[in-house]
Amino acid sequence: MTILVTGAAGFIGYHVAESLLARGETVIGLDNLNAYYDVRLKEARLDRLRTRPGFRFVHADIAEREAVGAVVERHPDIDRIVHLAAQAGVRHSLIDPYAYVQTNVMGQLVILEAARRLKNLRHLVYASTSSVYGANTELPFRETDRVDRPVSLYAATKRADELMGHAYAHLFGLPQTGLRFFTVYGPWGRPDMAYYMFARAIMAGEPITLYDGGRLKRDFTYVDDIVAGVVGALDHPPEGETPPNRILNIGNHRGEEVSTLVALLEKSLGRRAVVRVAPRPSVDVEETFAAVDAIAGLTGFAPRTALSEGIPRFASWFLGWNGEA
């Protein structure tokens, strides 16, 4: 297989690319290495991918149609796409809303247009998010639930991606799977996410802010489980379905309190957190919890990593990385 992985220098993209390369696939990684968070972390992930035979890197912006068009013209053998490049982060969408529409909406369209020009394309797998469930309170979140009440612009752009995906599957028969990721964490993780910011603050002796006293719950999903789900989905295109379009949750199937996450970080890092409490911001939901029977039935997906196993693995990577930086 020749697989275009967008966002390959990102947290999930890096891990997915590693896994595909390890099983002998050719991976064309694409990323614009933007400065939303520490570019050294993106470069370091990329350096590891570059040591692998079968990896090629393209420095490009997915919202630029000529650049992406040139990639598919140069590589007409691409038969799978894993599209993970995005402007991520719920809270940052209050600060720079335009970046979300530019990358997540325009960029998604550019990828769809490029995909439909690839004659050998068997499957486009792309990232959506649990945030599309917005203000829903009935748990667990199921793919059949309402998703028309986003509480952040980030969620609105990801829902737009799902709708554009449906249109392209209907109009052009483009086989797609949208994966709704639930709070992914692990080594080489994202510095803007709570588990990472908490780790940094704990080590620096700085205070952390716990919304609603740490009682918010998240379905924390270890990155290796996400990779298994992404690759499993990639290997099972929605062939024979009309339109060939699926949307699947991918989570750990367990909501855990943020206070539990903090206790595990304290234990793994060997330091106590200085805690401040604050009310929940309006872009944050109270709880997320994924129903995963659909992806389990279609691909055999089964989350294996408890938070109590995953956090020590993240912490040990974090201590090494911070030592190097």
Ligand X SMILES: NC(=O)c1ccc[n+]([C@@H]2O[C@H](COP(=O)([O-])OP(=O)(O)OC[C@H]3O[C@@H](n4cnc5c(N)ncnc54)[C@H](O)[C@@H]3O)[C@@H](O)[C@H]2O)c1
* Close Cβ partners of 293 (under 8 Å, ≥ 6 residues apart): none
Distance, CA of 224 to chain centre: 12
User: What is the smallest separation between the CB atom of 181 and ligand X, expressed in angstroms?
Assistant: 4
* b/e code 96-112 from CB counts within 10 Å (16+ = b): ebebbbbbbbbbbbbbb
Q: Which of 14, 4, 39, 9 is nearest to 186 (CA)?
A: 14
Determine the interface stretch with ligand X among 170-178, 182-190, 207-215, 308-316 (rule: CB under 6 A).
Answer: 182-190
Question: Of 93, 129, 252, 299, which one interacts with ligand X (CB under 6 A)?
Answer: 129
Question: Of 183, 245, 299, 305, which one interacts with ligand X (CB under 6 A)?
Answer: 183
251 part of the interface to ligand X, by CB under 6 A: no
Active site residue 37: no
Would you say 279 and 209 are in contact if contact means Cβ atoms under 8 Å apart?
no
On the 0-12 / 13-18 / 19+ scale of CB atoms within 10 A, 57 is: middle
Number of residues that bind ligand X (CB under 6 A): 27
- What is the token pair recorded at 196? 């990472």
**Rounded Cα distance, 42 and 245, in Å:** 31
> Any idea which residue has 């972390």 for tokens?
41
User: What is the smallest separation between the CB atom of 129 and ligand X, expressed in angstroms?
Assistant: 4
Question: Of 1, 33, 70, 203, which one interacts with ligand X (CB under 6 A)?
Answer: 33
| Closest-approach residue to ligand X (CB) | 10
Map the footprint of ligand X across residues 69-128, applying CB under 6 A: 84-88, 103, 107, 127
- What is the token pair recorded at 289? 């919890």
> What binding mask, one character per residue, do residues 259-288 give for ligand X by CB under 6 A, x or -?
------------------------------
User: What is the smallest separation between the CB atom of 77 and ligand X, expressed in angstroms?
Assistant: 21
* Close Cβ partners of 48 (under 8 Å, ≥ 6 residues apart): 14, 18
The active-site residue out of 36, 154, 168, 222 is 154
User: What is the smallest separation between the CB atom of 184 and ligand X, expressed in angstroms?
Assistant: 4
Question: Of 17, 21, 63, 247, which one interacts with ligand X (CB under 6 A)?
Answer: 63
311 part of the interface to ligand X, by CB under 6 A: no
User: What is the smallest separation between the CB atom of 192 and ligand X, expressed in angstroms?
Assistant: 8
> In terms of CB distance, is 7 or 255 closer to ligand X?
7
Question: Of 2, 19, 34, 259, which one interacts with ligand X (CB under 6 A)?
Answer: 34
227 part of the interface to ligand X, by CB under 6 A: no
Determine the interface stretch with ligand X among 6-14, 228-236, 291-299, 310-318 (rule: CB under 6 A).
Answer: 6-14
Q: Please give the sequence-ordered ranges of beta strands (E in DSSP) within the chain, or none if there are none.
A: 2-6, 26-31, 55-59, 80-83, 123-129, 176-181, 184-185, 207-211, 217-218, 221-222, 245-250, 256-257, 274-278
User: What is the smallest separation between the CB atom of 61 and ligand X, expressed in angstroms?
Assistant: 4
**Rounded Cα distance, 319 and 310, in Å:** 14
Number of other CB atoms surrounding residue 90 within 10 Å: 19
* Close Cβ partners of 32 (under 8 Å, ≥ 6 residues apart): 59, 60, 61, 62, 85
Determine the interface stretch with ligand X among 26-34, 228-236, 265-273, 291-299 (rule: CB under 6 A).
Answer: 26-34
**Rounded Cα distance, 165 and 161, in Å:** 6
User: What is the smallest separation between the CB atom of 131 and ligand X, expressed in angstroms?
Assistant: 7
Task: Show which residues are catalytic.
Answer: 154
Which parts of this chain interact with ligand X (CB under 6 A)? 7, 9-13, 31-34, 42, 61-63, 84-88, 103, 107, 127, 129, 181, 183-184, 190
